Structure 1
Amino acid sequence: MEQYKKDFIDFMVSSNALKFGSFTLKSGRQSPFFMNAGSYITGSQLEQLGIYYAHAIHDNFGDDYDVLFGPAYKGIPLSVATSIAYSKLFNKEIKYSADRKEEKDHGADKGSLLGYSIKDGDRVVIIEDVTTSGKSIEETYPKIKAQETTPGGIKIVGEIVSLNRMEKSADSDKSALDSITEKYGFPARAIVSMKDVIEYLYKPDGSGLITNDIKKQMDDYYAQWGAIM
């Protein structure tokens, strides 16, 4: 596992973004872990988060893109922080864009987007915190494609999230990320997967953050909800 992935797992834990216990998800599932990107609230945390995302985007998609699109609301700071980090790490200027929940009807920046206005010829990477069901892309994808003036004018290079939960999506035995790739035709990737997290934090002698008890709960959870990988 790459060092930045190990560092990111430590970062999620130290920021209280990744927790272990018993949590009821929006889907109604009882999960032994919970990921909350809303826990990144300081300037230094957002700076570091952008660096991890930038590394993952570069590893998965290279430099073949121009715009980071962050769906409102959590995607907005992610797109901003990552575009800053990318320019510093890889010496390429990346524009940020996000959707507005309500369209602005006045001023020079009126319209449905915040930041850069995506147009034909742009290559876009969608950036989000985490996706369990894959439902958010059903809103995001048409908002991006609505900016086209000619069919296929905007290319979505891929989607990046922080954590692949590796569980079944709402209507498939595949993970949300795999379902997105299959349905929309672009790769959906994560900085790390729960497999990476377990591999890094679990120690059979009980010395790891993931104890034997937590590991048993996670094994049971994935026996029921684990995706076909």
Structure 2
Amino acid sequence: MTERDQRAAAFVREMIDRGVLTFGDFVLKSGRSSPYFFNLGAIADGAGLAVLGSAYAFETLALPTRPDVLFGPAYKGIPIATATAIALARDHGVEIGAAFNRKEVKDHGEGGLLVGASMAGRKVAIVDDVVTDGTAKREAFAMITEAGGEVVGVILALDRQEPAADGDQTAVRVLESIFNVPVRCVANLDDVVDYLGADPSQSGQWRRLSQYRRQIR
């Protein structure tokens, strides 16, 4: 098992233990039925955010171009950007700014839609939980560009490895082609299936997800 595979397996275990990755019968935003659900919003304490920040920090450092700023789209991207910036400074000695947007324009105080580090003339990586149809990422890209920043990568927690609604390519590959930047994911569906397959107590879930993986490919 490679170092990357070890990190992915550890991340999957943490996400299961923390109730982020759950199994059952779900209908996704895309309308597709799924035997699992990934909700990063279930992480709501310091220890969980530390795990998240460490995982995203590794992926940030693996980008071909190191960003100056991490941009977390509201709302789930906000704690991701913050936790990742902390982990980079604490564990790697790398100082990277964090920024995010408001859903509504603030008309008093500092005002505006953007909060945090300036993105003008700087390289920016978008950090978020997952990608479905890519709408939120397109909006983030537009905000960064309008603020004078250059998007150099996108980092996500999980690649579901499912075809996008409008073709055979996965949503992540579509995102890469739209932005023309690398999209890195801490883990993917293959990692989840491999982790379940290595745990005899999860044999039932392993069979369900293995079948699901065959259906979507």
Please state if 1:64 is matched with 2:55.
no
Runs of 4+ in 1 over 6 A off after TM superposition: none
Is 1:200 matched up with 2:195? yes
Separation in structure 1 between the aligned mates of residue 30 and residue 191 of structure 2, nearest angstrom? 23
Counterparts of 2:12 and 2:66 in 1: how far apart (Å)? 27
1:100-142 Cα deviation digits (max 9, x unpaired): 11112222x321101123212x011100011133232122111
Q: Which residue of 2 aligns with 1:86?
A: 88
Contact 2:54 2:84 in 1 (8 A): yes
Q: Give unmatched runs, 5+ long, in structure 2.
A: none
Stretches of structure 1 that go unaligned for 5 or more consecutive residues are: 149-153
Aligned to 1:7: 10
Distance 1:7-1:219 versus aligned 2 partners, 3 A rule = closer
1:134–1:169 CA contact under 8 A, matched in 2: no
Aligned 1:47-196 pairs, distance under 5 A: 47-59=50-62, 61=63, 64-107=66-109, 109-120=110-121, 122-148=122-148, 154-196=149-191
In structure 2, what is the equivalent of residue 151 of structure 1?
A: none
- Residue correspondences, number: 214
Shift of 1:62: 5.8
Q: CA deviation at 1:196?
A: 1.3
Distance (Å, rounded) in 2 between the aligned partners of 1:224 and 1:135: 25
2:94 maps to amino acid? K
**C-alpha distance in 2, partners of 1:7/1:208?**
17
1:39 corresponds to which residue?
42
Once residues 124 and 68 of structure 2 are traced to their aligned partners in structure 1, the CA distance between those partners, rounded to angstroms, is 6
Residue 136 of structure 1 aligns to a residue whose secondary structure is helix
8 Å contact kept, 1:133–1:168: no
Task: Compute the RMSD of aligned alpha carbons.
Answer: 1.7
Distance (Å, rounded) in 1 between the aligned partners of 2:50 and 2:38:
19
Percent same amino acid at aligned positions?
37
Determine the structure 2 residue equivalent to 1:214.
205
Residue identity in the other structure for 1:166 = Q
Aligned counterparts of 2:120 and 2:69: Cα–Cα separation in 1: 10
Query: Does structure 2 retain, via aligned residues, the 8 Å contact 1:125–1:159?
Result: yes
Q: Which amino acid aligns with 1:12?
A: M
> C-alpha deviations, 1:144-163, integer Å up to 9, x for none?
11112xxxxx3211000000
